[in-house]
Structure 1
Amino acid sequence: MAMASLPASAAWSAAPPSLWERVDLESRDGHDGLSNSTAFDLIQDHSGYLWIGGNDGLVRYDGSAAAIFRHLPDDATSLSNNTVRRLLEDRDQRLWVRTAVGLDRYQSSSNQFRHYPIQAQQLLEDRFGLLVASHTGLHRYDPVADAFQTLTPFPLAGQDSPSPSDPVWGLFQSRAGVIWLSTQAGHLFWWSPGGTVRHRRLPWRGLVILHEDPKGRLWIGHDSGIAVIDPIDPSDPSDPRIIDHEPFRRLDGAVITARHDLGDGVWLGGTGLYRTDDRGTSVTLIGIGNDPLALPIRSILVDREGLTWLATPHGLRF
C-alpha cells in the first residue's frame, strides 16, 4: 500500500540556503483520527504506512484514516504503555516500539504486541541486526531465540557512564562500521573494529549523533547546537578532534534530530527547525509562521514522495 498523496502545498521549497526562510505548515491535529497530543517519533514502513509514537499511544496512518493502539490493562498483548518514544522497522520488516516501560514488537498478523524485559533507551540496526542500548548495557537481538543477549554491560570499565543517571541519547553506526554511543551528560564512546572501547568527554550535554557527512565527520547535536567530530581515521578512530565548523556557530539551542531529504539536503530539528546540505556548507533557519523558534521538533521524516513531516509537542506538522 502506498502512502496516499498529500497536498502539494505541503512540500517545502528547496530554495538556495539563506539565513532565514519562512514556511507556513499544515497541521494534522484532529484530522482523519490523528491526535493533537505530543508526537515523539514517526517512521514510514515498508508498506507505506506512517507510524507515529507519542504520549497517547501508537498511531498507524494510511494517508486518509488512522488506527490507534493503546495500552489496555486487561490485555497482556496490547501496547505496554501509552507513551511511545522511539520507533524502528528492521530489514526483516519487524516494527520495534520503545515505550516508557520497555520494548515491544508489533505482530501485524494479530495486531498484538510482544513485550521484552529490557528498558530500551536507543535502537539501532547495524549490519548484523538490531542493537538496543539500555541503562544496563548494549544488547543484540537474536531472532532465532526471539530474545536479547547482552554484548557489553554498563557502566563501561573505568567510567561511571552510561548509567541510570546518565542515559544513552545517541546510538549510531558510521559507514566504516564503527559503533558510536553518546549520553545525556556528554560522554562519547566508540568501539573500534577490534572491539576496543574508547571514550571522550565532550564539553556539552544532551549528545545525539545526527549525521555522518561525506568526509566521514560526525555531526553531534547537543544542548547548544551542533559539534563536528573528525575521527581522522574513520575505520579506526583513536583520537578524534572537534572541528570549529563556522556555519554551525549560528545555531542557538538544542539540536536532537536530523533527516536527509531525497537530495543532498539535511533537516535539523530541536529548539528550532533548520536546513543545510550534507556538508554543512550553510545553515538556513526555517521560520514557522512569524516566529523562527515557535515549534520544538522531536523527530523528522521525509516520506517516499519527498514530503517532510515533523513530530512536535502539538502533534504532526507538514
Structure 2
Amino acid sequence: MMKYAHVYALFLMVVFCSFCNAQNKTELSTGTTKPETRDVIISNAPGNIVRKIIQDRKGNIWMASWEGIIRYDGKSFTNITNKVTSARFFSVLEDRKGNFWFGTIGSGVYYYDGNSFQNFTTEKGLLNNEVTSIYEDKKGNIWFGVSGGASRYDGKSFRNYIIDGNAINEDWIGKTFPNRQPNGVNTIIEDKTGKLWIGTRGDAFTFDGKTFTIFRNNEGKAFKNVWSIFEDKKGNIWLGADDGLWRYEGSTFTKLSEKGALSILEDKKGNIWTSSVVGRSCELLRYDGKSLSNKTPTVTIVSDGEYNLYFGILEDFDGSIWVGTGSGVYRYDGKAFTYFKSKEGQK
C-alpha cells in the first residue's frame, strides 16, 4: 500500500497545484489548546487514502478508500468490496431505497443492494470509468461526476453530459471516454429550488434541467476548480474554489477565506467545517455559526495538517466529526481525535 500512497501523493501535487498557489498566510483565530490524538488499533481499519465518508440510515459509517469500501458498525471495520474488486474507491452514496453506489478510479461504479454487486462501466453507458462524485436528485436519478463530464442514471439507462471547453453539452451519439480527461466533475448537488450545481476542474455550472450555465460572481468572474459545493440550512450556497471559500446568498457573494475547501459541512449547531488545502497538507477549520453574518467570522483551526491531507468530513448522529485523510480515518469528539489504526499497519 505504501507504493500506492507515493503514487497518489504525486497525483495530488498535480491536482491541487492551483489550490496550493492560491494559499496565503493563515489569517484565522485559533484555539489555545491542541486536541490530543488517541490511537485505537482495530483489524481492517483503513490505513491509506479515505476520500469520502457517509453514515447510513442504520448508523453505520461507510468509507470510500483506496483499500476498498469499508463499513464501521461502531465496533469493527469490514471491507465490503475486497472479495469483489481491488479497485480504488473515491465516492459512496446510499440512495433513498437503502442501496449503495460506490465510485472507483478506473473501474466505473459498483451498485450494492446489501447482498450482491453490479458493476456499471463505459460498456454499459457510463461516460467514464473514473467516478469522483455521486449524487441522488429529488426525482431519484443518480448522478455521477466523472472525468470528462457527468452521467445521469434513471434506473434503466444513462444520459451523458460532456464538458466541452467552457460549456457542458448533452451527448447524443453514445460517446464514452476510455481515459482520464483534462477536465472533470468534482461535485454535484441539488439546491432547494431543484437547480443542480456542478463543480468541475474548470468552471462551475448550474443546470435547470435544460441548460447548463456558468456560475459567475457579481464581477462576472467564473469560479474555477471547484472541489466542493454545499447548501446550508438557510439556503446559502458555499463553494470551495481555486481562489478561496465563497458563500452565495442569492444575490450577494461573501468571500470567507483565501483558502479553498475540498469538503464543506454544516454541523447541528450551525457551524461550518471545511478541509482546506495549505501547501501540501490541509487544515480542518470550523467557522462559528453565530458569527457567520460578520465580515470576519470567528474561525478555529481544529487541526493544522498533522494528519497529512484531509478529504471527506462527516458529522455522525452523535455529533462527532469524522475526517478521511491520506493515512486513514479520524473521529473528533470536540476534545480529542481518535485515530483508528489497522492491526495490519502495525506489522
Fold-level match, TM-score > 0.5? yes
* Displacement after TM superposition at 1:266 (Å): 1.9
Q: 1:257 Cα deviation (Å)?
A: 0.3
Quote how far apart the aligned CAs of 1:212 are.
2.4
Distance in 2 of aligned mates of 1:160 and 1:138 = 9
Matched, 1:265 2:281: no
Rounded to whole Å, the distance in 2 between the matches of 1:31 and 1:302 is 21
**2-side partners of 1:92 and 1:32: how far apart?**
30
Match of 1:9 in 2: none
Matched, 1:285 2:300: yes
Alpha-carbon distance change, 84 to 161 in structure 1, aligned in 2, over 3 angstroms: same
Residue 133 of structure 1 deviates from its aligned partner by: 2.9
1:175-254 to 2 correspondence within 5 Å?
175-185=192-202, 187-192=203-208, 195-200=210-215, 202=221, 205-213=224-232, 216-232=235-251, 243-245=253-255, 248-249=256-257, 251=258, 253-254=259-260
Do the aligned partners of 1:57 and 1:71 also contact (CA within 8 Å) in 2?
yes
Q: TM-score, normalised by structure 2?
A: 0.69
State the Cα distance separating 1:215 from its structure 2 match. 5.4
Distance in 2, Cα, partners of 1:25 & 1:255: 24
Q: What displacement does 1:25 show?
A: 5.0
Matching residue's letter, 2:93: L
How many Å apart are 1:34 and its aligned residue? 0.8
Q: Which residue of 1 aligns with 2:310?
A: 297
Indicate the larger mover: 162-171 or 124-133.
162-171
TM-score under structure 1 length normalisation? 0.75
* Structure 1 equivalent of residue 136 of structure 2: 125
Distance 1:261 1:211 in 2: 12
**How many Å apart are 1:262 and its aligned residue?**
1.9
Paired with 2:64 and 2:30, the residues of 1 have a C-alpha distance of 30
CA contact (8 A) 1:218 1:229 kept: yes
Which string of whole-angstrom CA distances, capped at 9 and with x for unpartnered residues, describes residues 234-260 of structure 1?
xxxxxxx6x243xx23x5x43110122
Which of 154, 157, 163 aligns to 1:155? It is 163
Q: Separation in 1 of the partners of 2:102 and 2:198? A: 20
Q: Is the CA contact 2:100–2:111 (under 8 Å) kept in the aligned structure 1?
A: yes
Percent sequence identity over matched residues? 20
Equivalence for 1:7: none
Aligned to 1:14: none
Q: Do residues 20 (structure 1) and 30 (structure 2) align?
A: yes
Distance 1:287 1:127 in 2: 34
SS in 2 for 1:97: strand
Unaligned runs of 5+ in 1: 1-17, 73-77, 233-240
Count of matched residue positions in the alignment of Structure 1 and Structure 2: 271
1:236 aligns to what?
A: none
Equivalent-residue separation in structure 2 for 1:158 and 1:37 (angstroms): 35
The RMSD of aligned alpha carbons is 2.8
Matching residue of 1:86:
91
* 1:108 alignment counterpart: 114
